[in-house]
Each structure stands twice: as structure tokens, then as C-alpha cells.
Amino acid sequence: MRYQYVYAVFPRAYSKSFLSVMALMVRCILYPGVHLFVTSGGKEQGASILHDKVNEICDLIPSFKREIDWGRGKSQESKDKVRYVFKNGSVLDNLAARESTRG
């Protein structure tokens, strides 16, 4: 997290998704008001990965769970849209790399 751009190649089962989501959560906590996102081929795939990893991290480290605003209308979790709003105003969201809907 020290550098703006980092290039690395890791093998299967290296916890790439886990580590990247944890790094995004740490950045959301340390930098108030930042808007970060996770992207993948489809919205459902990105939402599923983000939802699973955030819940796994919150179960392992409860202090992360206390940083997210779980109040009504703040954080959203659905099949194709996941949005976590932190207590300091930061947002962790999912986006699709390609949008297949028209309009």
C-alpha cells in the first residue's frame, strides 16, 4: 500500500481476493471520505466476491466490522449490488467492467 501502482503475479490459492479486499478496507478506514471499488467481468460476480470476502474478514477481525456503518439505508448487500459505507464517510463499492444492459 506504500506505492500507487504495484505489479505482482501470484499462483492459485494465494488469497489474492482476500488480501486485496482487506487492503481496500484498510484504505477506507485510514483515508476518510475515499470512494474505492472492486470490479470484475459481471456485477454479480464482483458483488459475490466482495460480499464473501468482507464477511470473512469481519468474522476474523471484529474491529473491521465495527468500522462499517450497518445502519438502515447505509450499507447495501444484494445479488448484484454491494456497497459498504464506513463510519468516516468512506465507501467500498462494486462495479462491472462491462455493462450489458442498454439505456
Rounded distance between C-alpha atoms, residue 23 and residue 35, angstroms: 14
> Three-state DSSP class for 1?
coil
> Three-state DSSP class for 14?
coil
Average predicted confidence (pLDDT) for the chain:
87
For β-strands 76-77 and 35-40, DSSP reports them as unpaired
Cβ neighbours for 42, distance < 8 A, ≥ 6 positions apart: 96, 98, 100
Contact 88, 33 (CB under 8 A): yes
Rounded distance between C-alpha atoms, residue 26 and residue 42, angstroms: 25
pLDDT tens-digit map of 60-80:
999 999 999 988 888 888 888
In this predicted structure, what is the pLDDT of residue 99? 60
Percent of the chain clearing pLDDT 70 (strictly above): 93
Q: For the chain, percent helix, then strand, then coil, each to nearest 5?
A: 40, 20, 45
In this predicted structure, what is the pLDDT of residue 103? 44
